[in-house]
Amino acid sequence: MNTKITGVGSYIPTGIAPNDQFSEHSFYNEDGSKFGHENAVIIEKFKAITGISERRYIQEDLTTSEIAHFAAEKAIEDAGIDREQLDYIIVAHNYGDVKHGTHQSDTVPSIGSRVKHLLKIKNPGCVAYDVMFGCPGWVEGVIQSHAFIKSGMAQKCLVIGAETLSRVIDQHDRDSMIYSDGAGASVLEARDEEGGILAHHTATYAYDEAHFIYFGESNNQELNDARRYIKMYGRKIYEFAITNVPAAMQTCLDKSGCDISKVKKIFIHQANEKMDEAIIDRFYKLYDMKPPTDVMPMSIDKLGNSSVATVPTLYDLVLRRELDDHEVNPGDVVMFASVGAGMNINAVVYKV
């Protein structure tokens, strides 16, 4: 039996936040000092580095579990399965349900249980749980589903990546412009047919790198609340990613036995356009090649960085041929790859 993705779906929030929305923000450095450039300059440099011109935010009445449910419904419909036959629901996220206007993350019950409740699944044999693995969470959920299927413990799994980063960003931190909201889902099934997951690889670097992404106070030290926000050491992450992600991708591809020339598309976590380009360039350089111009679909320019949701959303958009001229067809070999808090890296080689 092979592990095949038989259904996909995504939820792209309707709220559009263009870069000029940040033109009136007061940005501070980590030490609390006022940032030394005008906002117009900050925004221009931000766009040049990240490629982001706008991002998506959810409506005030929605939460992570609800948009995860929206994406799940689409994936189940696309797969054409009976939801009561699902063996596992795995939901990747990092901050739980943070309701609008509140400061507290709510993870009890788990987001997985909430999604199962919203899907109205009665079968107690459908096990729902959460994966908190940084931005690579959805890819890791796919890897876990593959393990369940190959071991005979499951026939059908639903893997979701959902995040509402707009609820945990510091408006006084320039990095807040990167983050967005969204959800992507996939149904994986045991199938007696060619293709599916050919290889996977995961690594955690925590000796020096564990706190490259963390929860911290606002850069505006005049604020007296006890709230914490998503923070990162951007330069350290960039250097870590371009050094370690290509090697992990090479390990995964070599495990699969596929030649790099057979890779049609690489669906990489939409973290930063320049960083992703550097990762792909270095990956192909490991094989003394230059990357094909059309190998890396990108959605970050319009959707921003929605963490665990970027890879499944990107894959959904390409499968539905809604992203430029990108497409994948049966028999194509593609890669999924991600890097994020932990610091975690993973990759999957998949034959459609």
Tell me: cis bond preceding 109? Omega within 30 of 0 counts: yes
Residue reference for tokens 């090697």: 247
Interhelix angle 64-79/111-118, nearest 10 degrees: 50
Report the pLDDT value the prediction gives residue 225, as an integer from 0 to 100: 74
Please say whether the structural domain 2-194 has been given the CATH code 3.40.50.720. no
pLDDT in tens, the chain (352 residues): 999 999 999 999 999 999 998 888 888 888 888 877 788 888 998 999 899 999 999 999 999 999 999 999 999 999 999 999 999 999 999 999 999 988 889 999 999 999 999 999 999 999 999 999 999 999 999 999 999 999 999 999 999 999 999 999 998 888 899 999 999 999 999 999 999 999 999 999 999 999 999 998 888 888 877 788 899 999 999 999 999 999 999 999 999 999 999 999 999 999 999 999 999 999 999 999 999 999 999 999 999 999 999 999 999 999 999 998 899 999 999 999 999 999 999 999 999 9
Tell me: cis bond preceding 136? Omega within 30 of 0 counts: no
Report the pLDDT value the prediction gives residue 314, as an integer from 0 to 100: 98
SS3 178: coil
Q: Which two tokens stand for residue 60?
A: 């005030």
Q: If you write DSSP's letter for every residue of 50-111 in order, what string do you get? A: H--SEEEE--TT--HHHHHHHHHHHHHHHHT--GGG-SEEEEE-SS-B--TT----B-SS-H
d(CA 85, CA 77): 13
Amino acid at 259: D
d(CA 347, CA 352): 16
- Residue range(s) of every CATH 3.40.47.10 domain in the chain: 2-194, 198-351
CATH assignment of 198-351?
Answer: 3.40.47.10
CA distances from 297 to 85, 87, 151, 300, 310 (A): 33, 31, 33, 10, 11
Report the pLDDT value the prediction gives residue 206, as an integer from 0 to 100: 97
SS3 160: strand
